[in-house]
């Protein structure tokens, strides 16, 4: 059995997305800037994809900028808002300690350019409140950037309440919605979102393509200079197959959102209930305000990396921390942000489901994961110290 339970890292492409893309590789491969018919077929596809993505977000097609993915969209949103703020002497940005590195590292760069950044602490359940955002806003705040849902622990933020307090104080609000798009209802107008990032490969679309939505009137700064593509805001020949595949995948995900969420939530809750039986473990993230496919646990006395390798041998693809941090010895900044001690944060396991996972797969994981945890603990010196009383259990 091969079970893919790492959909927060990336997803398998859907048949719909692949088939939508093929004509734009084989037949209509033209450059949309070309005047001939092969180019114009590509230009038409680009416009249709823009309309389709805009409709899925409740946006206007002119508010959609295609990018190379979620990271680029996050970079461009923050740099743009920073430049707009700096013109008015506003150089303070608010975010949280548990954002994706695409946001956190861009904020570091902004700091080196004279911006001041406040990273709000995150509660144990992985949620920041609108009141805390409101309290952090200053007269010189130009941007609040807070993710829609966390990629590691799945916690969903109170986006509408946060955008409301930002607008009461005249501050732009950006959200990294890479984990939310296609999985949670998004309407940028109703939710009053000024800027939003998404990435196709997190909802069964292709890798290397994403969107930056920016409300009309928000002047974007270029990250990539060159030709006049994307209204002059993002140079480079458009990735037509990727953009077409993304639009098809997003449309499909939004069409089936309710039934997919119900299926994934049932599997998620069965996994959580089963894994909670493992002693000295704890669920990370909020129980209710949680992405339908996210399961994240800490198990005391084990190393996440060893757990992943053994699970892989049993055919289970999972993750520990985020893909960017695995391979390094630093534990996940997200788990540290919600207050897990270093030792505990090292023993984490994330399972992220999609609509194609089955109940039989969940049963198999519930049969194998406790055995692997037991086995690793039986060899762990830390576990020995814990069970002999030499060290105190934290979970
Ligand atoms: C995956 C991810 C990104 C990065 O998107 P890419 O398209 O891989 O650049 C950014 N933010 C979050 C929350 C993500 O999960």
| 107-153 tens-digit pLDDT | 999 999 999 999 999 999 999 999 999 999 999 999 999 999 999 99
Distance (Å, rounded) from C-alpha 83 to C-alpha 93? 12
Provide the pLDDT for residue 190.
Answer: 98
Residues labelled as active-site residues: 324
C-alpha 372 – ligand 1 centre gap (Å): 30
C-alpha 391 – ligand 1 centre gap (Å): 38
Q: Does ligand 1 come within 6 angstroms of the Cβ of 75? A: no
What residue's CA is closest to ligand 1, atom 14? 178
Structure tokens at 385: 């110290």
Burial class (CB in 10 A: 0-12, 13-18, 19+), 247: buried
Q: Mutation test of ligand 1: which of 69, 95, 152 has the most ligand atoms closer than 8 Å to its C-beta?
A: 69
Nearest residue to 84 via CA among 192, 255, 218: 218
Distance (Å, rounded) from C-alpha 58 to C-alpha 166? 20
Distance (Å, rounded) from C-alpha 253 to C-alpha 245? 12
C-alpha 146 – ligand 1 centre gap (Å): 14
What residue's CA is closest to ligand 1, atom 3? 70
Positive or negative torsion for Cα 13, 22, 53, 171: positive
145-202 per-position pLDDT tens digit:
999 999 999 999 999 999 999 999 999 999 999 999 999 999 999 999 999 999 999 9
What residue's CA is closest to ligand 1, atom 6? 70
Q: Per-residue confidence at 330, pLDDT binned at 50, 70, 90?
A: confident
Higher pLDDT, 342 or 52: 52
* Partners of residue 247 on adjacent β-strands: none
Provide the pLDDT for residue 359.
Answer: 98
Alpha carbon 194 to its chain centroid, in Å, reads 18
Q: Does ligand 1 come within 6 angstroms of the Cβ of 147? A: yes
Atom of ligand 1 nearest to the CA of 199: 7
Provide the pLDDT for residue 276.
Answer: 98
Report the percentage of the chain scoring pLDDT > 90. Answer: 96
C-alpha 41 – ligand 1 centre gap (Å): 30
63-115 per-position pLDDT tens digit:
999 999 999 999 999 999 999 999 999 999 999 999 999 999 999 999 999 99
Q: Does ligand 1 come within 6 angstroms of the Cβ of 106? A: no
C-alpha 64 – ligand 1 centre gap (Å): 18
């Amino acid at each position: 059995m091969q079970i893919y339970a790492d959909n927060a890292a990336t997803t398998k492409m859907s048949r719909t997305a692949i088939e939508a893309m093929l004509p734009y590789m084989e037949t209509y491969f033209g450059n949309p800037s070309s005047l001939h018919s092969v180019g114009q077929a590509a230009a038409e596809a680009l416009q249709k994809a823009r309309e389709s993505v805009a409709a899925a977000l409740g946006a206007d097609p002119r508010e959609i900028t295609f990018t190379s993915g979620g990271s680029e969209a996050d970079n461009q949103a923050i740099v743009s808002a920073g430049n707009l703020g700096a013109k008015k002497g506003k150089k303070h940005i608010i975010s949280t300690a548990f954002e994706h590195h695409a946001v956190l590292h861009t904020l570091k760069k902004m700091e080196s350019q004279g911006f001041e950044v406040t990273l709000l602490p995150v509660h144990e359940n992985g949620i920041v409140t609108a009141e805390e955002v409101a309290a952090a806003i200053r007269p010189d705040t130009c941007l609040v950037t807070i993710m829609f849902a966390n990629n590691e622990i799945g916690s969903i933020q109170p986006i509408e309440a946060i955008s409301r307090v930002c607008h009461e104080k005249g501050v732009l609000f950006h959200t990294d919605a890479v984990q939310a798009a296609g999985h949670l209802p998004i309407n940028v107008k109703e939710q009053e979102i000024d800027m939003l990032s998404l990435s196709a490969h997190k909802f069964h679309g292709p890798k290397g393509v994403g969107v930056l939505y920016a409300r009309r009137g928000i002047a974007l700064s270029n990250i990539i200079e060159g030709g006049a593509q994307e209204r002059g805001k993002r140079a480079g020949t458009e990735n037509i197959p990727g953009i077409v595949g993304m639009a098809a995948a997003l449309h499909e995900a939004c069409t089936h959102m309710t039934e997919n969420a119900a299926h994934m939530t049932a599997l998620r809750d069965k996994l959580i209930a089963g894994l909670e039986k493992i002693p000295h473990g704890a669920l990370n993230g909020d129980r209710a305000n949680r992405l339908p496919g996210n399961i994240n646990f800490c198990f005391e006395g084990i190393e996440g990396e060893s757990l992943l390798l053994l699970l892989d041998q049993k055919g289970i693809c999972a993750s520990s921390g985020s893909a960017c941090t695995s391979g390094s010895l630093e534990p996940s900044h997200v788990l540290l942000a919600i207050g897990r001690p270093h030792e505990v944060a090292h023993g984490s396991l994330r399972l992220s489901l999609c609509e194609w996972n089955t109940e039989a797969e969940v049963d198999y994981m519930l049969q194998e994961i406790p055995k692997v945890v037991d086995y690793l603990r039986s060899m762990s010196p830390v576990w020995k110290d814990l069970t002999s009383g030499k060290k105190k259990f934290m979970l």
